[in-house]
Structure 1
Amino acid sequence: MTHVGRYLGPATNWKTMQQTEAQAILAASLNLWSIWETNPTNASYFSDAQGASDGKTEAAYAQSFGQPKGTAIYHTIDYDVQPDAYSRILEHFQAIKAANTGYKVGVYGPYGVLQYLYQNGAADYYWQTYAWSGGFLVSFAHLYQYQNSVTVAGINVDRDRILLDPGGWQQIMASTLQRGSTGDAVKTLQQELNTVLGIKLTVDGIFGPSTEAAVKSFQQQYHLSVDGIVGPQTEAALKAAYAAKSGTTGKVQQAISLIQQAQSLLKEVE
């Protein structure tokens, strides 16, 4: 087990993650991803107004747990969605994105509606359930839920496969860097950006407009979400790129080469 997905929300809700639980998960060096769910079990739940409300409310709970900006919060679609509801669900997620304050938007649901939302750029992260999916799996899923209600270490859980980085967070990521950040972590960031991009940022430990522009340039070049925020995904990509550029490890370069070859083969298959 490397990752745990848990619900945000009021402490009075039986399924909501408690602060002590979040601390225990992170202290165990597990990666934590967040879920927002109220009652998304039929088409009538989804609307512009509900999406806007969800986007604001879930961000407030995420902040209360210390979840770093730039990480994902997954919103669920928990029923057998029919195509006639796709457009209103899209509007719902567009409203979430507009109301959200710095967090990435994730979506959980079955195959068909995820395909539609992905084609319309509705979310940043995708978590598919096997339920109502007819045995199909989307090619872009970050998470795949393949089994429900099993017991692990005495706890009833659903099992998921991690297919791509799901945008979760760890204790070490509590200091997500963005404009206004200062300190040694910013100096390290500036040094790494200089090496990777071949630029000459002033290494002063101040995350200002120039550093933000460099981060966005890196994100664009490495096909990440371009928001100028150094969250888990951007940091991991930058560390790998820096190691390759600076020659600190030949294995990293070899891994990158292998990944590129695999991507090329996948494109040929497609």
Structure 2
Amino acid sequence: MSGIAGVDYAWTHPGGAALKAAGKKFACRYLSDDHRKNLSKAEAKDLSSHGVACVVVWEAGAKRALSGSKGGAADAKKAEQQAAALGMPQDRPIYFAVDFDATPGQQDHINAYLDGAAGVIGRERVGIYGGYYPVKRALDAKKAHWAWQTPAWSGGQWDHRAQIRQGAQQTIGGVGCDLNVATADDYGQWSPH
């Protein structure tokens, strides 16, 4: 599959020069309660200076999306504050992680969580990260405008609407990174202003 090559990683960072040398055009990075794994302003500037765009995902625990509307609103407020401090433009999306094998019976809680986030940042900025099924269900219900799909828990299926697809792993600059491909020109990327 052709597309725009990117990566995601958490606590260790390969740096903009290494990502550029590896042909990567974007890095999906964390916003969370754990500042050690979060994107920093210095890192965002380093990435940008090497032509690597940023994409952000909020994750406060694998199953946090089951916390419903109140959890989604609380997380979106924190994510929005962190993103603003990084210099992220206010029209760019924030993906919210559903990092487990979510069942159909859990989707109402996930949708409520995304509704809570939308009440804070606007529906047009809400993204979902997860396997095929929660991504498809959230997009079908119009609870998220953006989607980043992992192959985990997907049974080999891909939702064609997902703007980013996660894939294999590669070591870049001594750091283990998940490889991603953006399948749309606009996948939520930005550079700090």
- What's the TM-score, normalizing by structure 1? 0.59
Which residue matches 1:157? 177
Is the 1:59–1:103 contact (alpha carbons within 8 Å) kept by the matching residues of 2? no
Which fold has the larger relative contact order, with Cα–Cα distance below 8 Å and residues 6 or more apart in sequence?
Answer: 2
Q: SS where residue 111 of structure 2 aligns? A: helix
1:101 Cα offset (Å):
6.3
The one-letter code of the counterpart of 1:163 is T
Change (3 A) 1:94 1:102: closer
Which residue matches 1:4? 27
Change (3 A) 1:121 1:54: same
- Counterparts of 1:43-82 in structure 2 under 5 Å? 45-82=66-103
Check if 1:22 corresponds to 2:40: no
Q: SS where residue 135 of structure 1 aligns? A: coil
Q: Which string of whole-angstrom CA distances, capped at 9 and with x for unpartnered residues, describes residues 192-236 of structure 1?
A: xxxxxxxxxxxxxxxxxxxxxxxxxxxxxxxxxxxxxxxxxxxxx
Greater strand content? 2
1:100 Cα offset (Å):
1.7
- C-alpha separation between the residues in 2 aligned to 1:131 and 1:38? 19
- C-alpha separation between the residues in 2 aligned to 1:103 and 1:53? 18
1:56 Cα offset (Å):
1.0
Which 4+ residue blocks in structure 1 deviate beyond 6 angstroms?
A: none
- C-alpha separation between the residues in 1 aligned to 2:136 and 2:46? 35
Which residue matches 2:53? 31
* Structure 1: runs of 5+ lacking an equivalent: 175-270
Is the 1:70–1:102 contact (alpha carbons within 8 Å) kept by the matching residues of 2? no
Q: Which string of whole-angstrom CA distances, capped at 9 and with x for unpartnered residues, describes residues 136-161 of structure 1?
A: 0001010000124x311211111111
Which residue matches 1:201? none
Identity of aligned residues (%): 26
- C-alpha separation between the residues in 2 aligned to 1:118 and 1:103? 12
From the CA coordinates, give the structure whose radius of gyration is larger.
Answer: 1
Greater helix content? 1
- C-alpha separation between the residues in 2 aligned to 1:34 and 1:49? 21
Is the 2:45–2:191 contact (alpha carbons within 8 Å) kept by the matching residues of 1? no
Is the 1:126–1:142 contact (alpha carbons within 8 Å) kept by the matching residues of 2? yes
Q: SS where residue 47 of structure 1 aligns? A: helix
Is the 2:27–2:52 contact (alpha carbons within 8 Å) kept by the matching residues of 1? yes
1:7 Cα offset (Å):
1.0
- C-alpha separation between the residues in 1 aligned to 2:26 and 2:129? 16
- C-alpha separation between the residues in 2 aligned to 1:143 and 1:101? 20
Is the 1:69–1:103 contact (alpha carbons within 8 Å) kept by the matching residues of 2? no
- Of the structure 1 ranges 26-35 and 127-136, higher mean CA displacement relative to structure 2 is found in 26-35
1:42 Cα offset (Å):
6.6
Which residue matches 1:110? 131
